[in-house]
Amino acid sequence: MHVSSSARLEVVALPLPPHLRNRLLATGFGTVADLERAGGPMGLARETGLSPDEAHEVLQLAGAAGGPASSNWRAGTVSAADLLVAAAATPRIISMARDLDALLGGGVAAGQVTEFCGVPGVGKTQLGMQLAVNVQIPRSLSGPEGQAVYIDTEGSFMAERCADIAEGAVRHVQSILEKKASMGQPELLHDGERPFTLENVMRGIYLFRVHDHVEQLGLVNMLPRFLEQYSQVRLIVIDSVTFHFRQDFPDMAQRTRVVTGMAQQLISLAQTHNVAVVLMNQVTTKVLEGGGSKLVPALGESWGHAASTRVMLTWGPDNERHAQMIKSPHLPLGDAAFAVTADGLRSLPRRR
Confidence of residue 71 (pLDDT cuts 50, 70, 90): very low
Q: How high does pLDDT run on average in the chain?
A: 84
- Taking Cα atoms as reference points, which of 87, 83, 82 lies closest to residue 38? 82
Residue 70 has pLDDT above 90, yes or no: no
Q: How far is CA 83 from CA 42, 45, 114, 278, in A?
A: 8, 12, 18, 19
Whether the bond between 240 and the residue before it is cis, its omega within 30 degrees of 0, is yes
> Does residue 208 register a pLDDT over 50?
yes
Sequence-distant (6+) residues with CB within 8 A of 77 are none
SS3 78: coil
What is the C-alpha separation between 199 and 213, in angstroms, rounded? Answer: 32
Structure confidence by residue, pLDDT tens digits, 133-163: 999 999 878 899 999 999 999 999 999 999 9
For residue range 223-248, what is the model confidence (pLDDT) as tens digits? Answer: 999 999 999 999 999 999 989 987 76
In angstroms, rounded to a whole number, what is the distance separating the alpha carbons of residues 71 and 192?
Answer: 28
In this prediction the pTM is 0.76
Largest CA distance in the chain: 80
What integer pLDDT is reported at residue 314 of this predicted model? 95
CA 117 to centroid of chain Cα atoms: 17
Helix H or strand E segment including 236: strand 233-239
Between strands 309-315 and 321-327, the pairing is: antiparallel
CA atoms within 13 A on the CB side of 184: 0
